[in-house]
Amino acid sequence: MNLNLKKLSDNELLSVYLSGNEVAVSVLVSRHRRRIFDYINMMVKDRDLADDIFQETLIRVLRFVSEGRYTENGKFLSWVLRIAHNQVIDHFRQKKQQNNISEGEAGYDLLNNKDLAESTVEDQMVARQIETDVRKLVEQLPPEQREVVMMRYYMGMSFKEIAAETDVSINTALGRMRYALINMRKLIEEKQLILN
């Protein structure tokens, strides 16, 4: 039974799971566990914490699948990695909130805005305003940093592609991205964006 399941594609395993065979999920998890865990661990640099986030990611993945919210046929691992990424972001937001509880009283702190991660209908107008403000800040970045930001976030290019397109080394592309993020943080702090 398990041997046959191992030969199935991710989407076939998900179908088997949804038809009531929970073993299919074990096969799916075991297939991708190392990649997902390594990805989380690389970001949080703490194996115990990475394990916790990995478990939370799995719970969320199964819930979304059960609710029929997985629609990206053929891109299961990419989809799971994005969920893992969001879980890690939530962790950092919570950690930052714990360190800066009083700062939020002054207004709407972009870097502490946990609601961004779990946006509800009532948050949508605020979220749109944040998007507008962030785009304005991007326009203030030096050209070579703005370029790499737009290529990565708007055009969805990898760093290898960005390096090739801009005719620089991959390390230069990565360095520009790092400075772009540092400058963005500085701009957010300088502008003290208060949106409500």
Q: Is 25 in the site for other proteins (CB under 8 A)?
A: no
Residue 20 C-beta: closest distance to other proteins, Å? 22
The residue (of 59 and 182) whose beta carbon lies closer to other proteins is 182
Please give the structure tokens belonging to residue 71. Answer: 């629609």
Q: Is 9 in the site for other proteins (CB under 8 A)?
A: yes
Q: Is 194 in the site for other proteins (CB under 8 A)?
A: no
User: Interface with other proteins by CB under 8 A: which range of 18-26, 54-62, 63-71, 167-175?
Assistant: 167-175
Residues of this chain, 26-65, that bind other proteins according to CB under 8 A:
31, 35, 38-39, 42-43, 45
Q: Is 76 in the site for other proteins (CB under 8 A)?
A: yes
Residues that bind other proteins in the complex, under the rule CB under 8 A: 6-7, 9-11, 31, 35, 38-39, 42-43, 45, 74-78, 81, 85-86, 88-89, 92-93, 95-96, 110-111, 116-117, 127, 130-131, 134-135, 138, 149-150, 153-154, 156, 158-160, 170-171, 174-175, 177-178, 181-182, 184-185, 188
